[in-house]
Structure 1
């Protein structure tokens, strides 16, 4: 009898474990879909402005450099980052061309957006939320009463980032933090967004004409 019962118990144990794992995976997949649906509903086709702080940490020497300013985003692919501290400069793209303007140096670096923001390079999804599903493998990193965090790994090989973690508010589905790790995990960059305002934005702010006699540098 023992020889019969043991295999039966073993079979049911395997079945039970498989069913539990299936339910767990189903629950995780549903939660991930709910999160993606929520941020897509919040951001798709919309323009918004926010204040931001940026912290770049060099892990090896435990050194962090901070900056802050205001940013504007408009679907699809339009961004304007106005750095106010510690040094004034701007990063502007209309979705086709990109400019980095440093007024103190009277310098403009310019490029086409596609070569600067390669798929999976990070940041571009703020102006086109559909790129999260399109360009990244997505997993859930953390869930609390205040926020959820999802981890993004680029579907394409990239020399810039190994992963990106997005923190999303449980209260209003706004993206509060974007935390990225570079390929060698020796540098990480944290953006924190506050005072987020969804509003109509003049498309002209995403265009840029270099000032006369400015030093123009073409970026590859």
Structure 2
């Protein structure tokens, strides 16, 4: 599996499982495009503000719901639909995304390797983490905040609202833009517009900011009998 395929899997199912919302995607998008009560922040100011918010998020656990819709019809995209599960991140570069419904899938990254485990397929894929993974939305919450502006153009459309829209600088990125919203200093929602014209919304609930997380959460050992693919 190539890096690009991994990134596409992430877009389609939270790296095959989940990034966003129990609410219709129309709700956050309407909120994000309403008339601004303050002018947009300049790029440098937006980058500094987002950096501060992300730096304050040293670790995080939450449950998530995800919804994906097609570009024109507004209907749920075939093969995507709704997903829900739990996630945890811890800087630097520790990430766990576990989809519980409608199927079980697990993505674990610890800075050196990334595992994708599909329980139904009894298959686990392992890949070394490389620089390209830095363009994926997942690692926005677990990577180095000081390096985010190297991979993204950062904007803050409404200067008095804590939501930011990021545009990947890489031509190989599998998405066109990523919006992230904060409430009370916590990341609560992400909206992803991918290169296929789909919009994926992810809403985080039961958020715990900066908890102590066991290192075992970011390690993965394939269960007995599982087909392991090394990339």
TM-score range, shorter chain: 0.7 to 0.9
User: Is 2:154 the counterpart of 1:135?
Assistant: no
Task: Tell me the equivalent position of 2:65.
Answer: 53
Question: How far apart are the structure 2 equivalents of 1:97 and 1:157?
Answer: 24
In structure 1, stretches of 5+ residues that fail to align are 1-23
Instruction: Tell me the alpha carbon deviations over residues 88-147 of structure 1, each in whole angstroms, 9 at most, x when there is no partner.
Output: 1111111111111122322112211227x5332322111123343332111112356xx4
**Could you tell me whether the CA contact under 8 Å between 2:67 and 2:83 is conserved in 1?**
yes
- TM-score computed with the length of structure 1 as normaliser: 0.75
Question: How far apart are the structure 2 equivalents of 1:56 and 1:33?
Answer: 27
**Could you tell me whether the CA contact under 8 Å between 2:124 and 2:229 is conserved in 1?**
yes
Task: Tell me the equivalent position of 1:119.
Answer: 134
User: Is 2:108 the counterpart of 1:81?
Assistant: no
**Could you tell me whether the CA contact under 8 Å between 2:62 and 2:207 is conserved in 1?**
yes
Q: What CA RMSD, in Å, does the superposition of the two structures yield over aligned residues?
A: 2.5
Match of 2:201 among 187, 190, 194: 190
Question: How far apart are the structure 2 equivalents of 1:176 and 1:113?
Answer: 26
Task: Tell me the equivalent position of 1:16.
Answer: none
Q: Does the C-alpha gap of structure 1 residues 108 and 40 become closer, same or farther in structure 2, counting only changes over 3 Å?
A: closer
* Higher helix residue share: 1
**Counterpart of 1:63 in 2: which secondary structure?**
coil
Question: How far apart are the structure 2 equivalents of 1:26 and 1:131?
Answer: 22
- TM-score computed with the length of structure 2 as normaliser: 0.72
* Higher strand residue share: 1
**Counterpart of 2:157 in 1: which secondary structure?**
strand
**Could you tell me whether the CA contact under 8 Å between 1:68 and 1:85 is conserved in 2?**
yes
Q: Does the C-alpha gap of structure 1 residues 120 and 33 become closer, same or farther in structure 2, counting only changes over 3 Å?
A: closer
Aligned pairs, number:
188
Task: Tell me the equivalent position of 2:211.
Answer: 199
**Could you tell me whether the CA contact under 8 Å between 1:98 and 1:112 is conserved in 2?**
yes
Shift of 1:203: 0.8
